[in-house]
A and B are shown apart, each in its own frame.
Chain A
């Protein structure tokens, strides 16, 4: 080693470090992370100090205390004697209930209307576009208030409830319908339904394998649906075909028995579904239009039937375009459900608001509902990303 060389290496370590890309990026990342951490620490400690200065209670101990307020509808057990934690859980399940039903309905409706807007029939196209432009351009909160007011003021009061079909009652207290009376058979029918679904999936696998091996086509879709219907039906027959109904009847102030959809839930579901449907319809339309017409022509020239062209050629390619924006719409619907607070549906935000007000612990309350919405949204995205990956074109 020459002295010159060793002298150069004396100077260079700092310079090399400064000019080293990896080193620089590590330093920047540490700085950014440190900055974010300090900011977070400042906010948290400042909040704690402020809350303490005003003697406002802090911590999550309140979750165990008795809530002492009533909630109008719940799919899990709840009474005013339950804890605040249980009340928030009621809110979460109510949010999930309206969001999941809304997502299913909006997807079905959105697909139908989306296809209508690319139809060759002028009237269908016109109706689809009119629907989309109307409902998409009115704020969803106003739509909710409109539906709620319509149900409250448009429908008769409970004593003169509409009774279109025997046992079905419609009034400004909601929709009451008869349901099957309790019978042990029904849980077995449910089990039969699940068995049917598993059977249908197995059938699909078998038929695809046979198709690849022999080229013979088996109608797995219709036979599979048949299995899903027939298995529970047979179970029902085996249990002696119970037919007893639980019919709603007016008793005191309200109907007792049957199943009920409250005006608040109905208005919220209607508003969210009709609003989100418009976006989903647009997503579906753009997906279908993204598949070049040449694909259809090519498939036709191969002699494929038109239903097969849709199922095997157009839809798989359209889905690639449809799924990512569809995920956004699912997330929007879930988040928009928090507008329920305006019409009194006891969703998570509504219950949290009450809890915050009774306990005074707004920071904790907001933290809880932000965490819950974040988790729900992340779960939906994870699922949709997984589905998207499955649906994306396999590059060969």
Chain B
């Protein structure tokens, strides 16, 4: 509720800080090293991706921030989180309030260019879906003409929704509420017939927020591509590199079978030159990034590889299988650029 109170003023204040403060162009790495923590913008509440339970932030997006902190500072706990609504997130990143935006954010051309952001990669391949109450008797998105649809403002979801209904010549009434937990609450209260967001978000809302998950179904149509990933602002290529290769290292570690439980053993005994380079037994990669040689070791040791993070946060909590987020060797899309 406090978030609500400040959301509008935050946008105004943030744009003021663009007015007044000098930009830390090219200095994010130095700034992070100096202050000793990474400031990370995450979702206010999206179980599986970023959710504060018992005061501890957890989720797939949160793990990206922890991994960056582990790589840069050797401590995955050296992160401070800023919970952001969809509307606040870009201004917060642009104005320097956060260093990384890891908030289930879709990578699009406009955001990559005119918003002054750079996406470091993709940590979850998603697509937009629709959820309805089972007793409405709807079995396809094509039957939704005239429905009231709950959606978060300032998202690609909001735009895809309008595009989809326009293309199919159908009407809808958007019910636009800023906070993720408020918009799901409005849906579960029956204000809307339909809730639309990324399929992972629907699963998260149904499995975690609904009183009785069995009352709701997710319709088969997936109407968009939503590659979600961490973003940084223009102007610091070094920092961008660190975030990008942190993500790659997590995926590559899974490809090599390096996990948080066997990482010590792998570093000491593995004869695979790729693993030795990754974990810093053969030096060179850390220096290239401007980091310690154990940067990737720290990530795997403290946070885990991509598969571990997915398993704890997404599969166990939301019941979503790997699907297209499986490794490319298993027929999915997760493919690390060679860490060498």
Contact = CB atoms under 8 A, between A and B. Distances in A.
A207 interface: no
Nearest to B151: A70
Interface residues of B, number: 58
A360 B12 contact: no
B178 A80 contact: no
A145 interface: yes
A47 B19 contact: yes
B222 interface: no
Nearest to A364: B15
A70 B19 contact: no
A283 interface: no
A81 B165 CA distance: 12
Given A69-B162, A80-B166, A50 B189 contact: no
Interface in A327-341: 338-339, 341
Contacts, number: 162
A254 interface: yes
B104 interface: no
Interface string B142-165: 001111100001100011011101
Given A43-B19, A358-B154, A363-B19, A145 B1 contact: yes
Contacts of B172: 70
A343 B177 contact: yes
A366 B15 contact: yes
B157 to A, nearest CB: 10
A261 to B, nearest CB: 14
Interface in B1-35: 1, 4-5, 7-8, 11-12, 14-15, 18-23, 25
A54 B234 contact: yes
Nearest to A354: B153
A358 B11 contact: no
B11 A362 contact: yes
A110 interface: no
A285 interface: no
A252 interface: yes
B271 interface: no
Interface in A61-78: 68-72
A357 interface: yes
Contacts of B18: 47, 50-51, 362-363
Contacts of A341: 7-8, 178
B267 interface: no
Interface string B187-228: 001110100000000000000000000000000000000000
B162 A55 contact: no
B174 A350 contact: no
B22 to A, nearest CB: 7
Contacts of A344: 175-178, 186
Contacts of A254: 146-148, 173
B187 to A, nearest CB: 10
B91 A356 contact: yes
Most buried by B among A70, A338, A343, A360: A70
B7 to A, nearest CB: 7
Contact of A152 (B23, B90, B191): B191
Interface residues of A, number: 55
B113 interface: yes
A263 interface: yes
B180 interface: no
A356 B94 CA distance: 13
A344 B158 CA distance: 14
Nearest to A173: B148
Nearest to B7: A341
Contacts of B162: 68-70, 80
Contacts of B145: 252
A152 B192 CA distance: 10
B87 interface: yes
A353 interface: yes
Contact of B116 (A173, A354, A360): A360
B86 interface: yes
Contact of A342 (B4, B22, B25, B234): B4
A209 interface: no
B280 interface: no
Contacts of B87: 353-354, 356-357
A108 B5 CA distance: 29
A108 B156 CA distance: 44
A56 interface: yes
A172 B4 contact: no
B4 A357 contact: no
B233 interface: yes
Given A70-B158, A344-B175, A360-B90, 14 more contacts: A43-B20, A55-B116, A68-B162, A69-B174, A70-B173, A72-B176, A152-B191, A172-B189, A252-B147, A264-B175, A353-B178, A357-B87, A362-B14, A362-B90
Interface of B: 1, 4-5, 7-8, 11-12, 14-15, 18-23, 25, 86-87, 89-91, 94, 110-111, 113-116, 136, 144-148, 153-154, 158-159, 161-163, 165-166, 172-178, 186, 189-191, 193, 233-235
6 contacts: A46-B19, A70-B161, A80-B166, A253-B136, A254-B173, A339-B8
